[in-house]
Amino acid sequence: MFVPSILRLCLFLTALLAAGGASGREPAWERLVDVGGHRLRIACEGEGGPAVILDHGLGGSADDWSRVQQSLAVVTRVCVYDRAGYGASDAGPAPRTSARIAQELHALLQGAGLRPPYVLGGHSFGGYNMRLYASRYPDEVAGLLLVDSPNEGQVDGLFQSQIMRQIDPQGILRQIWSPQLLDLLPAADIAAFAPAFGLPAKNLQAILAEMAAFKDSSQQLRAAAIHPDTPLVIVMHGLRIMPDGALGDGMERDWMRLQRELAARYRDGRVVVAPQSAHAIPQDQPEIVVDALKRLLQTAAPVAPAQEDWF
């Protein structure tokens, strides 16, 4: 049937972009915060500042950062959260664009009593959201870490390529990354098929809603102001994640080129390669992510928030 087939394809693509993995470890502080009619879960460890705030990839959860959070919490406060529809967070309103997600994160941090400035880190699609947060709230951002997060030009370049037109002449893949996706997959169908994928309905709905809004999120990033004085570190994969052959070779070259182009937009933009990692860098080589965050923390002035401001 068409509906389960396209759902399987969506989840396959999500698996390429998400880390996946949970530690089961209890955080030092955990809370659900209302961000305007729905609640988001945030969990923090460590003390001091600037606080590090981490956003997970498409289809992931806050637990994807568990090894990074545990290692870095000896240096400063490290907070992870579940976006709307993921983990313990409530489902959120559509469209699930990076603009909406950044706005919700801003409300979450304020509601949790976390004082800026922050060092922001985003893995994969989480990097989209953190870049937009840094654009909209530059005075609150002391540094920005992007972990294998795509440049907004990569999606358009992929779907406009001659190779993609050859392998996808009907444009089915293009529909997956557009609002048309949710027209093809009604909420009732998503709820019915979610158990087959081992997911709560709200989780699958969140994945699909973010995929459907992905092109809009890319356009929001193109239009967003860049603050070149924001310290930036990009950590990208060293092991191949694209398919073998001409298409994969071209995509890998484009990934490296566009990551370097993104770093060049910032005066202190750096690219670090995780040599033993594919896309799941926070799990495979958390020490590289921790080192990058420590580098960003060294450029920021220490912050010592009053204890009552923390939860």
In a domain, 117, yes or no: yes
In a domain, 310, yes or no: no
Which neighbouring-strand residues pair with 237? 274
In a domain, 304, yes or no: no
In a domain, 277, yes or no: yes
Structural domain total, the chain: 1
Q: Which two tokens stand for residue 19?
A: 């880390």
In a domain, 31, yes or no: yes
- d(CA 220, CA 215) in angstroms, rounded, equals 9
Domain that holds residue 71: 2-299
In a domain, 306, yes or no: no
Q: Which residue has the tokens 């990569």?
A: 154
Residue 246: how many CB atoms within 10 A of its CB?
A: 9
In a domain, 44, yes or no: yes
Pairing state of beta strands 78-81 and 39-45? antiparallel
- d(CA 122, CA 80) in angstroms, rounded, equals 10
Helix (H, G, I), strand (E, B) or coil at 198: coil
What are 15-44's pLDDT values in tens digits? Answer: 545 544 444 455 578 999 999 999 999 999
Helix axes 246-263, 152-159, angle to 10 degrees: 150
- The CATH code of the domain that includes 135 is 3.40.50.1820
In a domain, 118, yes or no: yes
- Residue numbers of the chain with a pLDDT score lower than 50: 1-3, 9, 12, 16, 19-24, 305-308, 310-311
